[in-house]
Homo-oligomer: A and B are copies of this chain.
Amino acid sequence: MNRSRDAQQLDRLFHALADDSRRRMIDRLSEGPASVSELARPLAMALPSVVKHLAVLESGGIVLSQKDGRVRTYRLAPDALARAEAWVGERKARWNAHFDALERYLLDTADEDMP
């Protein structure tokens, strides 16, 4: 394996987003911190499944957890989706630059064809 830490982090981030229940947990946590049972309720999901999904979200750098006494509370990481946004944004900027270059080329060619 010759993959950088960055690449592995992106793998885990996008993997964490690739599940509807996990995306719904993200939306719930965007309203404020929550315990495992609070996160389980609207999903009608057993607690051990919720705990597994939360571990995937934590490994992806999207949520953070903290234990207060016997209750573990989850919250969104600061800039939880910033890396996903940056990755997509970089590609979009690059593609737009390609299209701009193509457009300029086509306009220049059209100018040359003018009488």
Contact = CB atoms under 8 A, between A and B. Distances in A.
A92 B81 contact: yes
Interface stretch (A19-27, A63-71, A107-115): A19-27
Interface in A9-61: 10-15, 17-20, 23, 26-27, 30-31
Contacts of A30: 91, 94-95, 98
Contacts of A94: 30
The contact size tier of chain A is 20 to 34
B91 A26 contact: yes
Contacts of A11: 18-20
Nearest to A17: B14
A3 interface: yes
